[in-house]
Amino acid sequence: MTKNERRTFLLDFEKPLWELEARINQIRELAEENNVDVSEQIAQLESRADNLRQEIFSTLNPSQRLQLARHPRRPSTLDYIQSIADEWFELHGDRGGYDDPALVGGVARLGGRPVVIMGHQKGRDTKDNVARNFGMAAPGGYRKGLRLMEHANQFGMPIITFIDTPGAWAGVEAEKLGQGEAIAYNLRQMFRFDVPIICTVIGEGGSGGALGIGVGDRLLMLEHAVYTVATPEACAAILWKDAKKSPQAAVALKITSGDLKELGIVDEVVVEPSGGAHAKPLETASHLKQTLLRNLEELFTMSGQQRKELRYQKFRKIGVFLDK
Per-residue pLDDT band for 8 (boundaries 50, 70, 90) equals: low
Per-residue pLDDT band for 151 (boundaries 50, 70, 90) equals: very high
Contacts of 187 (CB under 8 A, 6+ apart): 211, 212, 215
Query: Has domain 66-317 been given CATH number 3.90.226.10?
Result: yes
CA–CA gap between residue 155 and residue 164 (Å, rounded): 27
CA–CA gap between residue 304 and residue 278 (Å, rounded): 36
CA–CA gap between residue 284 and residue 277 (Å, rounded): 6
Q: Nearest 5°: phi and psi at 299?
A: -70, -30
Task: Indicate whether 322 pLDDT > 70.
Answer: no
* pLDDT (0 to 100) of residue 43: 83
Closest CA to 164 of 58, 74, 97, 277: 74
Rounded to an integer, the average pLDDT of 206-212 is 91
Specify whether the CB–CB gap between 163 and 214 falls below 8 A.
Answer: yes
Per-residue pLDDT band for 6 (boundaries 50, 70, 90) equals: low
* pLDDT (0 to 100) of residue 244: 86
- Tens digit of each residue's pLDDT (9 = 90 or more) over 291-309: 999 999 999 999 999 999 9
* pLDDT (0 to 100) of residue 184: 96
Task: Indicate whether 5 pLDDT > 80.
Answer: no
Rounded to an integer, the average pLDDT of 57-79 is 90
The residues spanned by each domain of the chain are 3-59, 66-317
- Tens digit of each residue's pLDDT (9 = 90 or more) over 45-61: 888 888 888 888 888 89
DSSP states of 113-181 as a string?
EEEEEEEE---SSHHHHHHTGGG---HHHHHHHHHHHHHHHHTT--EEEEEEES-S--SHHHHHTTHHH
Specify whether the CB–CB gap between 212 and 167 falls below 8 A.
Answer: no
Per-residue pLDDT band for 324 (boundaries 50, 70, 90) equals: low
